[in-house]
Structure 1
Amino acid sequence: MRSALRRTVAVGAALALTASLAACGGESTEEPVELGDKQVGAMADYTAGTQFTATEPLTFPLLYSDHPNYPLKEDWLLWQEITERTGVTFENTVVPMSDYSQKRSLLIGSGEAPLIISKTYPGEETAFVSSGAVLPVSQYLDLMPHFQQKVADWGMEADLDQLRQADGEFYVLPGLHEEAWQDYTVAVRTDVMEDLGLQTPETWEDFREVLRAVKAENPDEYPMSDRFNDSAPAGALMNIVAMTYGTSAGWGYDNEQWDEAAGAYTFTGTSPEYKEFVTYMHSLVEEGLLDPESFTQDDDSAIQKFVSGDSFAISTNAQTVVNDYRPALEDNVPGASVAKLPLPAGPAGSVVPGTTRLENGLMISSEALERDDFVALMQFVDWLWYSDEGLELVKWGVEGTTYTKDGSTWTLADDIDYVGMNPDAPKHLQKDFGFAGGVFAYGGTTELLESTFSEEEKEFQALMKQKQELPLPPPAPLTDVEREQATLVETPLTDFVTQATLQFVLGQRDLEEWDAYVAEAEAKGASTYIETVNEAQQRFAAENG
């Protein structure tokens, strides 16, 4: 899960979802389409807590991101159960996960996208808004009572504000988490920690001391060699460290960051907080504590170094510890053990991001409005993605077949494995049944989220819940014209900051040249860009109070 939300695409205050979700907000420039002739298959009495069952068989096209670890099978119990319960059959357009973002853009741009465009992170929808290719889903929330109920019960109106465009609407239906949660951190060799008498580091400064101690025992090796370079160099590590420094980087990089004292946005890549973060990261490389290849190598190379015992630390989430690291490490290095490190604190404090309550979700093609089963489509999406029953189905499967339940305790069937619950079982929940996949299984109650967690992970999450949740920055919705102008400088600025950051961290550029770097960013339009963002923020504040 990636926690960042793009400020340049985030927007303003909530419009009224229903009377119970009323909030101030801008006025939409378009009226919702009349739905009287779009009721085929819809339920007349569909409410929160109601099982959606189409009044006649329906088929909905779905854009499906195919994971290489559990490729789609047409005979999965997942598909059978969805159809049996709802009367809906999916017509899948299957795209390899590695090509998903690009293929999704091509399909939407050509007007050939399926009705349901899954696996969309908040912010990714913005490129498709001005063309009218995707539906302003916020206009049709009255058709989604489960979605509405979770927003109301969990107080998520402000979270949804982060999604709204300048017209007051939002165009992505995100996964909704009851509570903020932090998954990504660093995995460390706990047996080495014990052998060296090292204490669990509470801050990133402490973490550097741990790496120094490991380096002293193994002077010819890098204590940490990292992974997750798919979309940004050291994307996971840079993201979590920068967040605790009061800025953003890696996966979570935004060109703008909110300065509470100034009451305005500033340019992230030249801020004092960003320089302090870069200086810290540089120190790890300069001292030989972090492998320079951490910013370029593929995941398999980084994993191999760790599981062979050549490195001591590597970025992780809960599943990678269980699936990628622990089994191979234990096979290769007798007596070795690995665990997630409680996320260290930084200059910004012991914090977690406030944006983690919104997950990847889905878009709806605007062509859905042309169908006579549009209402049923929205009801179905509401049930499968947002009802407790639907979320339990796509995560755990079928009670009595793939799991049993006693009160609030779920137990996986003995002959099925998932995240190491039954490692010797002959079947797998994802590979053989299709459940717990990345297209559907996001969001829900904390109880459901943690239902697949090991006791080890629950202890980790208990520590994360003690941290301070960072506040959401104020909305700064750009108009179509502003967005078009901002895009001309935003991408080049992001690329420039990413490249310069890597140069500073690796020592290819001296930190004494920071002022020159700031001047270069200014020459590329950093101040002009931030002025546009601040004007949008001030306009919104003036219009909405």
Structure 2
Amino acid sequence: MLHRTWRRAAIAAASLLTLTLVACSSEETGDAKDLSGNRAGAMADYGVGTQFTATEPLSFSILYNNHPNYPLKNEWLFWSELTKRTNVKLEPVAVPLSDYEQKRSLLIGAGDAPLIIPKTYHPAENQFVSSGAILPVSDYLDLMPNLKDKIDKWGLKPEIDTLRQSDGKFYLLPGLHEKPWQEYTVAVRTDILDELKQPVPKTWDELYTVLKAMKAKYPDSYPYSDRWSKPNPAGALLRIAGNSWGTQAGWSFQHNTWDPAAGKFVYTGATEQYKQMVQYLNKLVTEGLLDPESFTQSDEAARQKLANGKSFVITSNAQTLVNDYRPDLAKTLPNAKLVNIPLPVGPAGEINPASRLENGVMISKKARDSKNFVAMMQFLDWLYYSDAGQEFAKWGVEGTTFVKDAAGKRMPAPDVDMIGLNPKGTKHLQKDFGFANGVFAYGGKLDLVQSFFSPEELEFQKVMNTRKPIEVPPPAPLTDAEREQVSLWETPLKDYVTQNTLKFILGQRPLTEWDAYVGELKARNSDKYIDVVNKAYERFKKDNG
């Protein structure tokens, strides 16, 4: 999953609340009041907890991200059961996963996009706003009672506000999580910890101590050798380390970070937090604790080093632990025990850095003129945001693809498997039925999101969910002219940050040159970039709060 990345501010909370109340009050009137000619097929009494069923048979086109792990089948139970429940037939326009973003842009640009355009990660929708090709969905929230209910109950208004454009509206219906879901962390050989009489590290400083002990015992090893370095060098490691230092790096890199103390945005790659993260990783490399090849090697090379006992620590998530690392070790070192530890705590404190927003759905502007527009919005609200729709999309049909025990816990039906929950099952929930499909199933209540989790992963998430979610930054949406200007600066700046991050970490450039590096960023327009962002922040605050 791409996932999703963002920094926070206590100061912003009060202004955000005011901003949001103003914005929501305007949304609840908006263009949605003039829909008398667009209600064919809609339910008159649709609300939270209502099963949406169109009052006449309807069909809607949808752009479909065709995943190679479960290729599209017309005979999937998902399609027929969806129509049975809602009286709506979806007409998928299938695009391979590898070409999805490019094809989406081409279809929207040509005016040929389907009415429903899912699997869109913010801020990808920004590029389609100025042309008027996609709908300002915030104008129509009154048609989506389940979405409004979850935003209110889960306190998601600050996150929603980060989607807003300079006109105060947002153009993406996001997936919503009740709680943050932190996927990535550090996996450690606990059998080696036992051998060295070291406790499971809870902080990055304790991890350093563990790595030192491993190096002393096994001097020919690089205790930490990492993967996920193509195309972004050490993308995952920099992401989780950045989170722990209160900055954004690697996969999560954003040019601007909110500084709550200063009450403004600052340039990420020039901050003290970013510098301290770099210093820590440089210390690991300098002392032979972190493999310098971690920033260039293939995933396969990193896995082989772990499997062959040349390393003992690697960045991980629940799937790679079970599907990659443990099977690798079982073949070569069957007594090895590898465990995902809770994300180590750094200077930013005990935080859960995951966002509560997921990828979402854009709506083609053409949909607004359809006589079935209201019905379509009700249908999307039921499928993506109602408890019943979310359970259906993820698990399917009770008694056919899943069952519930006396306590209400969901489990695959006896002949159905999903990620090893029922290894004896001869049918697969995704491949054979079309459920748990990334186009439709994401987000929701905590128990639903975690219903595929192993007991081990549940324990990991239990620890993470005791931690404080990171503060959400205030909105700073750019105008079209501003976006066009900063786009000229972004690539050169990001490339320079990436290059010098690696040079500092690997010792190819001394950290005594940090101030010079910051000056080089300014010469590449980092200050001008941040000036634009802060002006956008002040303007949006003035206009909306």
With 411-420 and 262-271 compared, the bigger mean Cα shift is at 411-420
Partner SS for 2:355: helix
Please list the CA deviations of residues 422-475 of structure 1 after superposition, one character each: whole Å capped at 9, or x if unmatched: 234322222222221222221111111122222211211121122222211222
Aligned ranges 1:238-253 → 2 under 5 Å:
238-253=238-253
Give the match for residue 505 of structure 1: 505
1:312-361 superposed Cα distances (whole Å, 9 cap, x missing partner): 222222222222322343233212222211111111112122x6111112
Q: Any idea what the Cα deviations from partners look like across 1:398-427, whole Å, max 9, x if unmatched? A: 111121113431122233222221234322
Q: Answer whether contact 1:185 1:342 (CA < 8 A) is retained.
A: yes
C-alpha contact 1:5 1:123 (8 A) present in aligned 2: no
SS at match of 1:432: coil
Paired with 1:73 and 1:487, the residues of 2 have a C-alpha distance of 40
- For 1:170, the equivalent position in structure 2 comes to 170
1:82 matches 2:89: no
> Are 2:359 and 1:360 aligned?
yes
CA distance in 2, matches of 1:291, 1:66: 37
Task: Find the counterpart in structure 1 of residue 331 from structure 2.
Answer: 331
Cα offset, 1:230, TM superposition: 5.1
Partner of 1:533: 533
The 1-side partners of 2:326 and 2:52 are apart by 41
Describe how 1:129-528 pairs up with structure 2 within 5 A: 129-229=129-229, 232-353=232-353, 356-406=355-405, 407-528=407-528
Alpha-carbon displacement from aligned partner over 1:43-95 (angstroms, at most 9, x marks no partner): 22211111111222222222222223222222222222212211222222222
- Shifted more, 36-45 versus 443-452: the winner is 36-45
Query: Which one-letter code corresponds to 2:348 in the other structure?
Result: A
Residue matched to 1:4: 5
> Displacement of 1:231 after TM fit?
5.4
Counterpart-to-counterpart distance in 2, 1:100 and 1:157: 29
Aligned residue type for 1:276 = Q
Residues 63 and 295 of structure 1: is their aligned pair in 2 closer, same or farther, counting only changes over 3 Å?
Answer: farther
State the TM-score, normalizing by the size of structure 2. 0.92
- Distance in structure 2 (CA, Å) of the matches to 1:386 and 1:231: 34
Is the 1:51–1:383 Cα contact (8 Å) retained in structure 2? yes
Question: Structure 1 vs Structure 2: percent identity of aligned residues?
Answer: 56
Opposite residue 359 of structure 1, the aligned amino acid is: E
* 3-state SS of 1:356 partner: coil
CA 1:384/1:26 → structure 2, altered by over 3 Å: closer, same or farther? closer
Letter aligned with residue 439 of structure 2 = V
* Contact kept? 1:204, 1:344, Cα under 8 Å: yes
Per-residue deviation at 1:31?
4.2
Deviations 1:205-240 (A, max 9, x none): 211222222233333333223223455322222111
CA distance in structure 2 between the partners assigned to 1:67 and 1:6 by the alignment: 31
The gaps in structure 2 that reach 5 residues or longer are: none
Aligned match of 2:57: 57
Contact persistence 2:489–2:524 (CA under 8 A) = yes
Change (3 A) 1:144 1:45: same
Q: What secondary structure, in the 3-state scheme, does the structure 2 residue paired with 1:496 have?
A: helix
Provide closer, same or farther for how the CA distance between residues 281 and 523 of structure 1 changes in structure 2, counting only shifts above 3 A. Answer: same
Alignment CA distance shift 1:214-1:96 (3 Å): farther
Is the 1:239–1:250 contact (alpha carbons within 8 Å) kept by the matching residues of 2?
yes
**Per-residue deviation at 1:273?**
0.8
Residue identity matched to 2:128: F
In 1: Cα distance, 2:74 partner to 2:297 partner: 35
Q: In the comparison of the two structures, how many residue pairs are matched?
A: 538
Change (3 A) 1:541 1:302: same
Q: Does the residue aligned with 1:269 lie in a helix, a strand or coil?
A: helix
Unaligned runs of 5+ in 1: none
* Shift in alpha-carbon separation, 1:88–1:56, aligned structure 2, 3 A: same
Whole-Å Cα distance in 2 between the matches of residues 80 and 309 of structure 1? 50
